[in-house]
A and B are shown apart, each in its own frame.
Chain A
Amino acid sequence: MIIPDDRTNLNSRLTAMQVGLSALFFVLLVSFWAIQVLQHDKFLEEAENNHTREIPLRAPRGALFDRHGKVLVENREALNISLVREQAQNLDRSMRLLAAVTGLEERYVRDAVDRGRALPRYQPIRVVADATMPQIASVAARRHELGDVLLERVPTRAYPRDFAAHLFGYVGEISSKQLDLPAFEHVKPGSLIGQAGVEATYNDLLMGQDGARVVTVNSVGREIKVLRRDEPGEGKRVQLTIDADVQRAAEEGFRIAGYNGSAVMLDPRNGEILALASVPTFDPNDFASGIAAKTWNSLMTDPLRPLSNRAIQGRYSPGSTFKIAVAVAGLEEGVITPDFHAFCGGGATFYGRYFKCHSGGPHGSISLRNAIEKSCNVYFYTVGNMLGVDRMHKWASALGLGELSGIDLPSEIQGIMPSTEWKRQKFNEKWYAGETISVSIGQGQVSVTPISLAVMAMTVANGGTRYQPHLVRAIDDGNGGGWQPYPAPKPRSVVHMKQSTIDAVHDGLFLVVNGAGTARRAQIIGYDVAGKTGTAQVISIQGKARAGKTTKDLRDHGFFVYFAPAKNPEVAGVVFGEHAEHGSNAAPIAKYMIETYFAKKEGRPMPAYPEVGKNPLPLPPAEDDVIAAGEPITVAPAVAPAARAAGHRGGN
């Protein structure tokens, strides 16, 4: 029984409980109001960040086409073999099995998985990039045992084999250094970018916009559903100025002739590059999905340096091809007229030293046209001596020698066109008049890249416009606007030459191929090929004697610069045969390219290589550029060590 007094006390305490607890519930309600209503936006964003992930989708790069619309470089779907740790019941067993099935070393598979340890467990770790068909087939066949192995499709560059590798270049993952460059401001880590060739120069056009899959993931990162898919945007399609058949002819020509080297063909009417080849070559497909360390090392240590683009990165002494520049300089400076005759008695004395013509001489009294045709050294010693080195420098530079061509490929190097100023700056020495004599036949310290010789051929061919060689004709951004012409670069300069100069030089160069000259192997009846051979010494004759027996290839290089047809030229360029011994050995490759060009233009079947099946022709009777047996090629002895130090001879 409860006493009344007690009952009052009890009632008030129960009421106190009710009031107190109501107050606590109210405080709780206000707290929820603060979190759920007042701070809602902040927490909603945090929740979104928790469960949505963006998984990048690689955009295909833009395709490359030749000037006639033929596809040169496109994309294919590569299959990567990846391992998903989250789905592995026994990771160790899976790695062993995968190694056995794909024929890889187990250590290789383990290394690949170890590299991916930092990734979330649900993310596939790439073990084999661009798997081979047998690998894919054997993985597919054992799908039930390899539940944790995934085949992923990735768009990958597909390059033609043995075709224009240096021109296309290759792609590779962006390096951490490149990521810091302003040019790659919007490129994400891990993206593939062009690392060489057109792929690098026109990376912005070709690269495209990576897409993404936005997915919902759970707390362990497992994908639950796809929220959104931003399709990747393919890169712009780019039409090159290249003619695939001419390019093919150039590379095939080197293979048949058995030389390494490079070839460039330009359109002298606008500077478009019709072909640009460098041999030996590499396979850009090796780079397309990450190059293997072994392949990379062998490319880097190969003494033939297959990654080097000889057309723009090789420097050689131009030999007799330089006589074109000397002839132009002499005529334009008024030192000679086209009818100027010099007497070649098989050699001549300058500054107390006897300089030989080559064994094809003596040429007797000889005119400019015939001096070019026969490549008479004495004639050009004489003209060079009258000009002096600085006036030769002026005209050779105007024609592009010793200058950058400005070609739209990365890492072009510059040649050397010496002058008194150049020597003073470089060696702090004065110019010796005797050095002028060797420069006048393209020896001494002159060194040029094949592309700069092609530029000279083009400029002489078109009467003086030094176009900037370029590779892109048109682009198509895929927005339905079709192909839009890509603006050509402005000409580098215009060289004003008298018509009589142009005619005389053209006549001489025509005779080299069609008369009694050194390049008859480039003759094409009806197409009036004009050109000039040149032989570049790898080592002086004494040096050869000193070196004795060596494993190094010391045979001379051969050049052939050309344009055709002689009147209204449509093509101009150069062929450089490494260790081809004589410029005339480069001529058939040029002939093959020119014949291919005209056959294509006129709709005839593609020609065969001009000298297939024939016995190699005997060398012409004369070495056209040898100065003097037993004589050093540089005149002033003081220059010789410096010249070697400059490394312009043979080293490239």
Chain B
Amino acid sequence: MFDERRLQHHIDWPLLTAVLALAGIGLVMIYSATWNPIAAQVGGRFWTHLYAFGIGVGALFVCLFLDYRRLCENSLFIYLGVAAALIYVLVAGSTQGGAQRWIALGGFNLQPSEFMKIALALALATYFAENNRGAQNYKDLAIAGGIAGFAFLLIYKQPDLGTAVTLLPILFGIAFVAGLRLKLLAIIALVAIVMAPIGWMFALKPYQKERIQTFLDPEKDSRGAGYQQLQARISVGSGGLSGKGFRHGTQGQYRFLPEPHSDFIYSVLGEEQGFLGVLGTLGLYLFVVLRTIEVARLAKDRHGTYLVVGLISCFTFQVLYNITMSAGLAPVKGLTLPLMSYGGSSIIATLAAFGLILNVRMRRFTN
């Protein structure tokens, strides 16, 4: 056994500080975005999120003090458990806005798909770490693809293409560092390009096609699907260098911006805090990403490296996509900004993931 108190000295305080700082900025932005200018009070969602944030900090420390190797050993059960929850969602989940994504837990809606990200990262990290061949064997890749694909399908069926797609970076990220042949990487890229038109014709739903078409020409449909994209760009652009000030963003305050507290929280930040706010938060996110990849480098074993890479791949993909979308530069997709967007399950799962990342670093000298 090891001394838990000694481990505390190896916590990566700069990384933890940066993560909590981003979550704190997120809380401030949610406060502004849920402010009701007519009633002059903050919306109830702020308090829900604050509550979730508290739980998330708890989850972070729980994940910090459980040995990640124990979790890896049980990764198959964790994966199957979360998959079972997803199946339950498909059968009996609660429905909001035409999608069945949640399990109602007495006043709190749990979104299992958020936790599948951690479960999949654990499962794939364990799988590639334990086969001793990394990701060089096509058969191994196929099995890993099967593990990821099953989870993808369960979430895609909800339907929640946005969250389902965030699982793919976990697979590619881990496979990449696990030695995926560059030739194969090129082939995958080629196949993706060839498959895109086929996917366009058969896999995408009409509203999804519309979103992409609208992205290519937002003016064409400025009251419909293009509206959100235009409003997002107006919000960010009108913020200027230093922003309109806290709670003074007209686009967010008067709800020209859709979903300002969740998907478009970064547009609110762009409008109210301006380019300087963007510079600061982008810097923080980049710091978190680079520092986490250092954790992967320092990890004691391949389990740790792959787990950290899987988690950070998913996180980075979401950050880059959401921020691009928040400036109206990518098609609108229901994808939250990790650490900053409103969403209980999202903030809890993200903080838990950082708990695991800190866990890997903290235990790099233990046996």
Chain A residues with CB below 8 A from B179, complex form: 6, 9-10
- Contact between chains at B297 and A11 (CB < 8 Å): yes
B295 to chain A, nearest CB (A): 10
Instruction: Determine the chain B residues whose CB is within 8 A of the CB of A217 once the complex forms.
Output: 254
Q: Is A426 an interface residue (CB 8 A)?
A: no
- A486 interface residue per 8 A CB criterion: no
Query: Does B79 touch A at the CB level, under 8 Å?
Result: no
**Complex interface bits, A309-337 against B, C-beta within 8 A gives 1, otherwise 0:** 00000000000000000000000000000
The A514-529 residues at the B interface (CB cut-off 8 A) are none
A211 to B254: give the CA distance in the assembly, Å.
25
Partner of A50, one of B234, B275, B279: B234
Are B237 and A51 interface neighbours, CB within 8 A? Answer: no
State in angstroms the CA–CA spacing of A1 and B285 once bound together: 32
B275 in contact with A47 (CB, 8 Å): no
Whether, in the assembled complex, B193 has its beta carbon less than 8 Å from a beta carbon of chain A, the answer is no
Residue A226 CB within 8 A of the other chain? no
> B235-250: contact bitstring with A at CB < 8 Å (1 yes, 0 no)?
1111111000000001
* A2 & B301 in contact (Cβ 8 Å cutoff): yes
Establish whether residues A46 and B320, one from each chain, have CB atoms under 8 Å apart when the complex forms.
no
> What is the bound-complex CA distance between A24 and B290, given in angstroms?
12
Query: Is residue B195 contacting chain A, with contact meaning CB distance below 8 A?
Result: no
Q: Kindly identify, within residues 1 to 53 of chain A, every residue whose CB is under 8 Å from any CB belonging to chain B.
A: 1-2, 6, 9-11, 13-14, 17-18, 21-22, 24-25, 28-29, 31-33, 35-37, 39-40, 42-44, 46-48, 50-51
Whether A479 is near chain B, meaning CB under 8 Å from some CB there, is no
B254→A36 contact, CB < 8 A: no
CB of A178 within 8 Å of the partner chain: no
Interface flags for B298-322 (1: CB within 8 Å of A; 0: not) read 0001100100010000001000100
Q: Is A219 an interface residue (CB 8 A)?
A: yes
Chain B residues whose C-beta falls within 8 Å of the C-beta of A132 in the assembled complex: none
Residues in B with CB closer than 8 Å to A11 are: 297
User: How far is B177's CA from A24's CA once the two chains are assembled, in angstroms?
Assistant: 19
A461 vs chain B, min Cβ distance (A): 71
- Check B177 against A14 for contact (C-beta < 8 Å): yes
Residues of A391-423 at the interface with B, using a CB-CB cut-off of 8 Å, are none
> A184 to chain B: closest CB distance in Å?
33
**Does A32 contact B286, Cβ atoms closer than 8 Å?**
no
Shortest Cβ gap from B238 to chain A (Å) = 4
A216 proximal to B (CB < 8 A): yes
Known: A13-B176, A50-B256. A36 touches B239 (CB 8 A): yes
Contact-size category for B: 35 or more
Cβ A29 vs Cβ B278 within 8 A: yes
A218 to B231, CA, bound (A): 13
B241–A36 touching, CB < 8 Å: yes
Q: Does A547 contact B (CB under 8 A)?
A: no
A224 contacts B by Cβ under 8 Å: yes
Consensus secondary structure, chain A interface = helix
Q: Are B327 and A6 in contact, with the CB atoms below 8 A?
A: no
> Shortest beta-carbon distance, A145 to chain B, in Å?
23
Residues of B close to A216: CB separation below 8 A: 250, 254
B315 CB, min distance to chain A CBs, angstroms: 11
Decide if the interface of chain B is mainly helix, strand, loop or mixed.
Answer: helix
B289, B301, B323: the one contacting A28 at CB < 8 Å is B323
The smallest C-beta distance from A212 to any residue of chain B, in angstroms, reads 19
From known contacts A37-B241, A40-B241, A51-B250, infer whether A18 and B290 are also in contact, taking CB-CB under 8 Å.
yes
Q: Name B238's contact: one of A18, A46, A218 (CB within 8 Å).
A: A46
Are the C-beta atoms of B254 and A224 separated by less than 8 Å? yes
B177 & A46 in contact (Cβ 8 Å cutoff): no
B94 to chain A: which residues have CB within 8 Å?
none
Complex Cα spacing A18 to B291, Å? 9
Residue contact A22 to B290, C-beta cutoff 8 Å: yes
Interface check B37, CB cutoff 8 A: yes
Please give, as numbers and ranges, the residues of chain A lying within 8 Å of B275 by CB-CB distance.
32-33, 36-37
Q: Does B50 count as interface, using CB distance less than 8 angstroms? A: no
- Tell me whether A37 and B38 are in contact (CB under 8 A): no
Q: Does B220 sit within 8 A of A, measured CB to CB?
A: no
In the complex, the answer to whether A21 meets B327 with C-beta atoms within 8 Å is no
Q: Contact at B256–A14, with CB atoms within 8 Å?
A: no
**In the complex the two chains form, is B250's CB within 8 Å of A29's CB?**
no
- Known A10-B305, A43-B233: A17·B256 in contact at CB below 8 Å: no
Those of B160-210 within 8 Å (CB) of chain A: 173, 176-177, 179
- B329 contacts chain A at the CB level, 8 A cutoff: yes
Q: What B residues does A42 contact at CB under 8 A?
A: 237
Q: Shortest beta-carbon distance, A60 to chain B, in Å? A: 32
Task: Give chain A nearest CB distance to B288 CB in angstroms.
Answer: 11
- Asked whether any CB of chain A lies closer than 8 Å to the CB of B134, the reply is yes
Q: Check A28 against B241 for contact (C-beta < 8 Å).
A: no
Residues of B near any A CB (own CB < 8 A):
37-38, 134, 173, 176-177, 179, 231, 233-241, 250-251, 253-256, 270, 274-275, 278-279, 282, 285-286, 289-290, 293, 296-297, 301-302, 305, 309, 316, 320, 323-324, 327-329
30 inter-chain pairs at a CB distance below 8 angstroms, sorted by A residue, are: A6-B134, A10-B179, A10-B305, A17-B173, A18-B290, A18-B293, A24-B320, A25-B282, A28-B320, A28-B324, A29-B278, A31-B324, A31-B327, A32-B275, A32-B282, A35-B327, A36-B239, A36-B270, A36-B278, A37-B240, A40-B237, A43-B236, A43-B237, A47-B250, A47-B256, A50-B250, A50-B256, A51-B254, A216-B250, A219-B254
Counting from the closest, the 5 A-B pairs by CB-CB distance are A43-B237, A47-B238, A218-B254, A36-B275, A219-B255
